[in-house]
């Protein structure tokens, strides 16, 4: 399990969102309050959009809380759309290439959760990848495969919510075929640099936490509210997708129900 | 604050002490139970004696819990005397040279605690070092300076307990002169590869925790008992020094009382 | 391209072979003389056998020449069979999991060379892996796949030389089918902790260099002679496999000829 | 010895200067042509000015040539004034805090060269530092001390060239008193975010190389010309200081002659 945040709004110095709040993501790297584990010290990542279509990535295998480079970068760089993620590994190695967010072309993705029995379905998932994406994998996480499978469907013409729902459905089917009893739990965010789509789903009653905060200047999606002013933070329902784009914030409830799919 | 352990006894594969116990040091790196902070993720170190007089050191800036090299080393190497330490930084950078244990010649040292107002006394402490030790500093911690000051006195003929007590007395005096109100808290272990001396002291009522476990085959000193069989683990009293050597285990109570020194 | 060495003989402190010689592997990490590139600074690894059947691994992404831990480990640990490798990446990321040697059970492997057009054949190679080995991959290199494919054949009953020749033949065939014009170049060493087998092959006239030095107390295989006493060092012919085991050193010339296979 | 560059001009994506040129600094990290050593793989650093007075720093202990974060940062961030440095250590550890550039408030500094017999003069140099700067040291290099001593004099009212000359004179005097016979060699750049001052000096005939390139849009100072168009690149004479600021480029020859000082 991990913790993350996604920002879309007026270009701000990233430290105002990533580092400064009382319960900032850096604080959550040491003291997460609503996660299965309190410590998210298995690397971190920051991905941001600037003047180019492709995002910049800064990922490191050491914990976020002790990284001076991260503070410096967040203090100096303004961005209108950025992701930040602190990782608690669930079985794969602590290395940069396994840190979120992942980027591919203009797209960026990060994930919090797990694919139960991943070892039993990995091969079938990787077999679905087209050659270019098969070769694009840089790490060894389930999250990177899911990202690439979603992109594959987007490139085939599906919308982000539809593509993600379809990938999760396929994952769930593979898990059932393989007799996996561990759950699929999935909170994630995906963006093309303009619109952010976030997801909260699970095939049991324990989806990873996810909140959205709409302010006049910006919308923030985060695993845990960043500050004590809880009035702004609204829990994203299980099974919902939230789209944050030029047309504002839109919640689609029940974009995908594992129960129904089952 | 940090967590550590020191072993002296029959040569054993280090993993049997460092990694395997239910509440092993690696477990304590994520979930310390008796420390000010639960997470000790700012690097770690392992120091062990083999066939040479000088110890080997393996120190890394990433957390102990995710380091495959540490597991491999502990699984393959036997040692009769070794130290292991997981760090929670108190102000200085996360880098190898700030990780414990420190080694100098045949001596090795590790520390858990803090020198209150260190910035205000650092310069006077460093000024006490002889030239060779001044140049031997590789990192920037208070712990390394204290180690070198103790060694300086040992080289001048003092015994480890006496040398350590005298250094702490000097530190305390400098702190008082500088008007420091933060406490001095000190749990530490020192060895020449044969005899281990451990210390537990503080100038307030909150010395870092420290325990000793005497078994037929070995003696272990640790910040927290390594297993649930608490019967073996005896708390080291505040103000005590424990010597573990060829003549057995010897506790000197009240080797140094800050109250008396004041 | 990379540089490596393999040792089999009297148990020695590893620094006497890895660090001390005039043209030691650490020296080669900065100043290789017979390689395509002089700098091998993209991580390194040390794998050694001790009292257990499985080897220990110490792998790091920083250059070997500045790693204090490596020096300490080599100075303290004796071993009768060990591998050391310094890496010059040819396209895959600099991370521990991509550093050689690789270990699987009691087996260990390291490689210097390249599979031309690897991106075009990777998928077919990975498809050959049985499920257990598919999941055992920790990194993203061609070398790790080749190692697992060789082990797969050994588990099926083939001898190391036969298994390696068959894997290289398959790789070469896939490269031809895919229209790859870049060469296959391959120097490697494989061991089960008792017998070492080393290989030197290429489908063009430029196989990676590889030498063997037989001394009364030990046999060393290395990319470049470790010292100026060249009298001991014999070049391993292209297309040869060298077996170093309890029965001595045995060179099989022409274990595999790409020309013939073509 | 190290290699570096300093840029002042139109805000540009840093990759156009740091990464893209044929003989870019990243290329120089592997293949320096005019340095004592060809490999500068002991860490690197990037320091840049944005909208705030204080610069941002990105420093890492791994080699520049394999760092994906550096490429990403340089591709995304524009800056009008930035420093980049690749390090070849001369005795102190490979760690972030020893990587250049160093920053203190709005000031930034980097260095290429060495203080001969540094161990013999270090203590006297550190004794000159005021308390605040004594505590500001984060690493263990001679370069950081020299930087802080220069800043101390600037805070006392001296201009950068005068302050630097005076510090070098003091260093040289300490070296002579201590009987050091190794040379003092010094190429460096200093900036407050607006004006850059660069220096090239030595007490023998082998000062580190240093060049300046004036273009209509920008001025670049670099250890080695970045491209094959040598027409732009002018060697900075030994004993000269170059000031690059709002009033253009100004070379002061013989700002400091060690021969005279001797």
Residues of chain B contacting residue A68, judged by C-beta atoms under 8 Å apart: 93
Q: Out of B15-19, C106-110, C256-260, which region has the weakest mean confidence (pLDDT)?
A: C256-260
Q: Which two tokens stand for residue D49?
A: 């000015």
Which of B2, B74, B99, B213 is flagged as catalytic? B2
Question: If pLDDT is split at 50, 70 and 90, which confidence band does C60 have?
Answer: very high
Give the span between the Cα atoms of C218 and C12, in whole angstroms. Answer: 10
| Sequence-ordered strand ranges (E) for D26-159 | 44-48, 56-60, 78-86, 102-104, 107-115
Select the residue of B93, B95, B123 nearest D131 (Cβ to Cβ): B123
Q: Is D57 on the interface with A (CB under 8 A)?
A: yes
Q: Are D137 and D122 in contact (CB under 8 A)?
A: no
Neighbours of A97 (CB within 10 A): 25
Which residues on A lie below 8 Å from C140 (Cβ)?
Answer: 97, 137-140
The region, left, alpha or beta by phi > 0 then psi within -120 to 50, assigned to residue C197 is beta
Element (H, E) at C234: strand C233-235
Q: What is the mean pLDDT of chain C?
A: 92
For residues A123 and A195, what is the distance between their CA atoms, to the nearest angstrom?
31
Query: Which residues of D are less than 8 Å from B134 in CB distance?
Result: 122-123
Q: Which chains touch B (3 or more CB pairs under 8 A)?
A: A, C, D
SS3 per-residue string spanning D103-117:
EECCEEEEEEEEECC
Q: Could you tell me which of C72, C254, C52 has the C-alpha nearest to residue B99? A: C72
Q: Spell out which residues of chain B touch residue A64, defining contact as CB-CB under 8 Å.
A: none
Which residue of D120, D123, D125, D136 is the best one to mutate when testing the B interface, meaning the one whose CB has the most B CBs within 10 A?
D123
Residue of A nearest to B66 (CA): A94
Does any CB of chain D come closer than 8 Å to the CB of residue B122? yes
Beta carbons of B50 and C76 less than 8 Å apart: yes
Cα B138-B139-B140 angle, rounded to 5 deg: 140
A38 touching B (Cβ < 8 Å): yes
Q: Measured between beta carbons, which residues in chain A are less than 8 angstroms from residue D55?
A: 76
Structure tokens at C219: 């046999």
Of C42, C65, C68, the CB nearest to D66: C42
A–B: how many Cβ contacts below 8 A? Answer: 33
Query: Least CB-CB distance to C72: which of B56, B60, B69?
Result: B56
Determine, for residues A96 and D51 on separate chains, whether the beta-carbon distance falls below 8 Å: no
Q: Which residue of C has its CA nearest to A141?
A: C138
Q: How far apart are CA B133 and CA D124, in angstroms?
A: 15
Give the residue on D whose Cα is nearest the Cα of A69. Answer: D58
Provide the H-helix boundaries in C66-114.
68-76
Facing residue for B76 by CB, picked from C52, C60, C75: C52
User: Best interface-test mutation with D: which of B57, B62, B92, B97 has the largest number of D CBs within 10 A?
Assistant: B97
3-state secondary structure of C51: coil
Catalogue the active-site residues of C.
2
Edge-to-edge, what's the strand order for the sheet holding A248-252?
A: A102-104, A107-115, A184-191, A196-202, A240-245, A248-252
Given the structure tokens 């089960």, which residue do they identify? C192
Give C-chain residues touching D65 at CB under 8 angstroms. 41
- The answer to whether C136 faces chain D, any CB pair under 8 Å, is no
Strand C248-252 versus strand A107-115 pairing type? unpaired
- Would you state the pLDDT for residue C245? 97
Interchain CB contact of B95 with A (< 8 Å)? no
The reply to whether C61 touches chain B by the CB within 8 Å rule is no
Those chains having 3 or more beta-carbon pairs within 8 angstroms of chain C are A, B, D
B89 DSSP assignment: -
Render each residue's pLDDT in chain B as its tens digit; 262 residues.
Answer: 799 999 999 999 999 999 999 999 999 999 999 888 889 999 999 999 999 999 999 999 999 999 999 999 999 999 999 999 999 987 888 999 999 999 999 999 999 998 999 888 999 999 999 998 998 899 999 999 999 999 999 999 999 999 999 999 999 999 999 999 999 999 999 999 999 999 999 988 899 999 999 999 999 999 999 987 778 999 999 999 999 999 999 998 866 554 444 4
Asked if C6 and C220 touch (Cβ cutoff 8 Å), the reply is: yes
Q: Kindly state whether C195 is in contact with chain D, defined as any CB-CB distance less than 8 angstroms.
A: no
- Nearest CB among B97, B122, B135 relative to D93 is that of B97
> What does the pLDDT average to over C15-39?
91
| CA nearest to B48 within chain C | C76
Q: What is the distance in angstroms between the Cα of C97 and the nearest Cα belonging to chain B?
A: 10
Q: Which tops the pLDDT comparison, B36 or D121?
A: D121
D159 interfaces chain C, CB cutoff of 8 Å: no
Contact D100, D109 (CB under 8 A): yes
Contact state of D38 with C42 under an 8 Å Cβ cutoff: no
Where is average pLDDT lowest: D51-55, D98-102, D142-146, D228-232? Answer: D228-232
Cα atoms in the 13 Å half-sphere on the side-chain side of B232: 17
CA distances from D114 to A99, A132, B224, D141 (A): 38, 49, 46, 10
CB contact C69 to D (< 8 Å): no
Neighbours of B54 (CB within 10 A): 17
Torsion-angle region of residue B240: left (phi > 0), alpha (psi -120 to 50) or beta? beta
Shortest alpha-carbon distance between residue D131 and chain B (Å): 8
Nearest-Å Rg of the Cα atoms of chain D is: 17
E strand or H helix that includes residue C157: none
Would you call C73 and B50 a contact, using CB atoms and an 8 Å cutoff?
A: no
Which residue is catalytic, options A2, A19, A99, A213? Answer: A2
Q: How far is CA A230 from CA A208, A226, A233, A234, D235, in A?
A: 18, 9, 5, 8, 61
A136 contacts chain D (CB < 8 A): no
Tens of pLDDT, residue by residue over D89-113, are 878 889 999 999 999 999 999 999 9
Say how many C-beta atoms besides its own lie within 10 A of residue B200's C-beta.
27
Contact C69 B58 (CB under 8 A): yes
pLDDT at C255: 59
Q: Would the pLDDT of C181 be above 80? A: yes
Our CA-based measurement puts residue C76 at a distance from the nearest CA of chain B, in whole angstroms, of 6
Are A119 and C135 within 8 A, CB to CB? yes
| Chain C residues lying within 8 Å of D62, measured CB to CB | 61-62, 94
Q: What is the dihedral of CA A70, A73, A77, A79, to 10 degrees?
A: -30
Give the whole-number percent of chain D exceeding pLDDT 70.
97
Residues of chain A with pLDDT under 50: 258-262
Contact C145, C125 (CB under 8 A): yes
CA D3 to chain centre: 9
ipTM: 0.93
Asked if D72's CB is within 8 angstroms of A57's CB, the reply is yes
Residue B62: list chain A partners with CB under 8 A: 61-62, 94
pLDDT of residue B262: 41
């Amino acid at each position: 399990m991990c913790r993350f945040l996604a920002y879309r709004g007026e270009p701000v110095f990233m430290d105002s969102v990533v580092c400064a709040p009382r319960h900032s993501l850096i604080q959550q790297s040491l003291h997460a309050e609503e996660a299965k584990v309190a410590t998210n010290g298995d690397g971190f990542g920051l991905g941001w959009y600037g003047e180019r279509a492709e995002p910049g990535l800064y990922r490191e295998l050491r914990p976020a809380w002790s990284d001076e480079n991260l503070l410096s970068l967040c203090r100096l760089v303004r961005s209108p759309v950025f992701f930040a993620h602190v990782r608690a590994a669930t079985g794969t190695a602590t290395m940069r290439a396994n840190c979120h967010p992942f980027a591919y072309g203009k797209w960026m993705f990060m994930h919090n959760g797990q694919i139960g029995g991943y070892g039993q379905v990995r091969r079938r998932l990787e077999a679905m990848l087209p050659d270019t994406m098969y070769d694009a994998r840089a790490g060894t996480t389930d999250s990177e495969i899911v990202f690439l499978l979603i992109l594959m469907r987007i490139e085939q013409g599906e919308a982000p919510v539809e593509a993600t729902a379809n990938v999760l459905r396929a994952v769930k089917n593979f898990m059932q075929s393989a007799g996996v009893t561990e759950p699929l739990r999935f909170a994630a965010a995906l963006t093309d640099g303009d619109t952010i789509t976030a997801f909260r789903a699970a095939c049991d009653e324990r989806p990873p936490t996810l909140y959205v905060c709409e302010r006049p200047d910006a919308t923030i999606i985060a695993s845990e509210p960043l500050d004590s002013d809880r009035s702004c933070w609204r829990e994203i329902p299980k099974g919902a997708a939230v789209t944050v784009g030029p047309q504002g914030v839109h919640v689609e409830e029940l974009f995908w129900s594992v129960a129904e799919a089952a």
